[in-house]
């Protein structure tokens, strides 16, 4: 039986693996996609203490190699459920059942979608949730950013440097993001604010050719001829599979304190998937360490 199973190989999960192994426990990491989590496609991380600049890929690879180099096992399998059998837990994937003493849920969060018809179909064909990852595909073109927080403002600023024109669409007339960043965008000639508006339709077969924008005050719609739509309306967790095992908050995040303990003995949580204020690499890494040490101490 494995001592500790970690669900998710993002920063939180991989850090938990390092701490679990170093505490003398056997560790298995189960990851639905590739290791690294959300950060893996980011071209440049500038706020991780001690690393002035590093790409998301290099950062994630170093973390993965550190964890597996120490002896953590890694398997590319999505966890479908976790069964609580008291002192042991059974982790179910499509192909296997794994028994262990403790589980750390480090499932992160994913980008929120607009919920429009054909949105999924057009991802990678004009729709993106990551400007720094995909912006270069739209060099010299006209694009739109949808959102009102810091991510949307950063995306618009980034795209304004490489695109012909950027529409910034927001559902209100005030932004949640930093006022200074809003002012900088107002000064850019190729950025047009489309406020009190929402994206109500997608135009184009095979590739995005435009969007329909609805004015929320008048109800009028108009078409914007964009080849790219960058959706930056926040993130949501993916914890429904564990809703009978741990308590979720109304937004679906796992409820736990700063100690990373869920209300269920032997089940811990770490990183962006839990209810918390700051979702960053540093806080995910901190959670990973805290959760793993708590899990190991309780075995």
The contact set with ligand FAD (CB under 6 A) reads 7-13, 30-33, 37-39, 42, 45, 47, 78-79, 106-109, 130, 238, 241, 271-272, 279-282, 284
- What angle do helix axes 11-22 and 56-70 make, rounded to 10 degrees? 20
Percentages helix, strand, coil for the chain (3-state, rounded to 5) are: 30, 30, 40
Q: Is residue 281 exposed (0-12), middle (13-18) or buried (19+ Cβ within 10 Å)?
A: buried
Q: At closest approach, how far in Å is the CB of 48 from ligand FAD? A: 6
DSSP helix/strand/coil, 124: coil
CA distance 1 to 43: 39
197 or 281: whose CB is closer to ligand FAD? 281
For the question of residue 134 being annotated catalytic, the response is yes
For the question of residue 296 being annotated catalytic, the response is no
Q: At closest approach, how far in Å is the CB of 288 from ligand FAD? A: 7
At 13, give phi and psi (nearest 5°).
-65, -45
Catalytic residue among 84, 133, 181, 215: 133
Closest residue by Cα to residue 264 from 249, 245, 283 = 245
Q: At closest approach, how far in Å is the CB of 281 from ligand FAD? A: 3
CA distance 68 to 71: 5
208 or 231: whose CB is closer to ligand FAD? 231
User: Which residues neighbour 90 within 8 Å (Cβ) at sequence distance 6 or greater?
Assistant: 82, 83, 97, 98, 99
Beta strands in 11-111 (DSSP E): 27-30, 73-75, 79-85, 88-93, 97-105, 109-111
147 or 210: whose CB is closer to ligand FAD? 147
**Runs of H (alpha helix) within 52-109:** 56-70
Q: At closest approach, how far in Å is the CB of 265 from ligand FAD? A: 21
Catalytic residue among 3, 134, 272, 287: 134
78 or 216: whose CB is closer to ligand FAD? 78
CA distance 259 to 65: 26
30 or 197: whose CB is closer to ligand FAD? 30
Q: From the CA atom positions of the chain, what is the Rg in Å?
A: 21
Q: At closest approach, how far in Å is the CB of 131 from ligand FAD? A: 8
User: Which residues neighbour 68 within 8 Å (Cβ) at sequence distance 6 or greater?
Assistant: 74
232 or 296: whose CB is closer to ligand FAD? 232
Q: At closest approach, how far in Å is the CB of 118 from ligand FAD? A: 23
Residues with active-site annotation? 130, 133-134
């Amino acid at each position: 039986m494995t001592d500790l199973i970690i669900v998710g190989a993002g920063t939180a999960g991989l850090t938990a693996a390092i701490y679990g192994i170093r505490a003398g426990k056997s560790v298995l990491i189960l990851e639905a996609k590739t290791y690294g989590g959300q950060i893996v496609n980011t071209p440049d991380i500038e706020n991780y203490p001690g690393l002035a600049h590093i790409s998301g890929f290099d950062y994630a690879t170093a973390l993965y190699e550190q964890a597996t180099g120490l002896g953590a096992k890694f398997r590319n399998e999505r966890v479908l459920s976790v069964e609580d059998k008291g002192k042991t837990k059974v982790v179910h994937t499509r192909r296997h059942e794994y028994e262990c003493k403790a589980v750390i849920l480090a499932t992160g969060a994913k980008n929120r979608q607009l919920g429009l018809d054909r949105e999924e179909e057009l991802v990678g064909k004009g729709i993106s949730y990551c400007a720094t990852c995909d912006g270069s595909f739209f060099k010299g073109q006209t694009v739109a950013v949808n959102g009102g927080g810091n991510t949307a403002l950063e995306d618009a600023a980034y795209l304004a440097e490489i695109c012909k024109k950027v529409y910034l669409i927001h559902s209100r007339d005030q932004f949640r993001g930093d006022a200074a960043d809003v002012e900088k965008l107002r000064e850019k000639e190729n950025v047009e604010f489309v406020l009190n508006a929402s994206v109500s339709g997608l135009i184009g077969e095979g590739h995005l050719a435009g969007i329909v924008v609805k004015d929320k005050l008048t109800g009028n719609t108009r078409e914007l001829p964009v080849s790219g739509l960058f959706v930056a309306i926040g993130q949501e967790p993916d914890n429904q599979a564990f809703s009978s095992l741990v308590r979720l908050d109304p937004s679906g995040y796992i409820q736990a304190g700063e100690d990373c303990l869920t209300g269920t003995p032997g089940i811990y949580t770490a990183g962006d998937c839990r209810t918390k204020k700051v979702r960053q690499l540093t806080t995910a890494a901190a959670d990973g360490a805290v959760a793993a040490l708590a899990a190991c101490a309780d075995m």
